[in-house]
Amino acid sequence: GRTQLMDAVPMTMGSEFRAFAITVGEDVDRLKEFANLLREVNLGGTAIGTGINTPTGYSALVIRYLSEISGVPMVPAADLIEATSDLGAFITFSGVLKRIAVKLSKTCNDLRLLNSGPRAGLGEIRLPAVQAGSSIMPGKVNPVIPEVVNQIAYQVIGNDLTVTLAAEAGQLQLNAMEPVIVLNILQSMRMLMRGMETLRTKCIEGIEVDRDRCRELLDGSLITVTALNPFIGYAEASRVAKVALKSRRSIREVVLAEGLMTAEQLDAAFATRNLLGGK
């Protein structure tokens, strides 16, 4: 595990990817929740929501038929004047799309970092090779699918800003900017759906973990020193880490060389359960 791009404490690859899944997946419920806001319609309000010249029963009748035709249960707005001028539901829905885009992009950034290398980077995972990466550097393969999703996210973020500004631009009893709002929301939805499907089929499903590389990084890093705190104390563990870093030795090598713990004690301290916080 890493914080601020610096070695932190050990974690399993399963824990890391589970966090990725929850990060993105939790917004499915948000999307369903706020999509309900879009079921409110102001049909029958006519010009500004007062309902002038609307036949009696028209609103209920048209909403019933609209629900049947679309398969979406529409509901009348509580206040037709408010519903004609206020486009807050679009802002909220677009905001959830942006939130999904931001989380997806951040996750793709992490995948690119974990895949970096193949020898001079982290190289803990291998992303599927989709295309040749360079006409200049033979054999170079780039993480193009995560990069595609990054760019989709930037577009969705921009679309959300357009929605925000358009919703703010209405005057008095009508907002005439609804067409550009709908255009941008629909584009964001289409791009996210296609982008996530592409990410799933051409990247996520083909990811491989390089177990040897993960073990190499764990054994050669200083993060295992945290597990020694209960045995030799924080101050001594900190000193050991500095010695190991300066001398380019492992934590185990320094501890054994200085006689701070036996090999058996180190094995117990570095047991997987201890390295993972006792879980």
| Burial of 32 (C-beta count, 10 Å sphere; 0-12/13-18/19+) | exposed
Q: What is the largest CA-CA distance in the chain?
A: 93
Q: Which of the following is catalytic: 15, 134, 247, 250? A: 134
Query: 190-196 long-range CB contacts below 8 Å, 24 or more apart?
Result: 191/152, 191/155, 191/156, 192/97, 192/100, 192/101, 192/104, 192/152, 192/156, 195/104, 195/148, 195/149, 195/152, 196/104, 196/149
134 is catalytic: yes
Nearest to 44 by CA among 32, 61, 31: 61
3 has which bridge partners?
A: 6
Distance CA 7, CA 245 (A): 12
SS3 2: strand
Distance CA 240, CA 245 (A): 9
**3-state secondary structure labels for all residues of 93-112:** HHHHHHHHHHHHHHHHHHHH
HSE at residue 91, side-chain half, CA atoms within 13 A, is 10
Question: What's 225's DSSP letter?
Answer: G
Residues with catalytic roles: 134
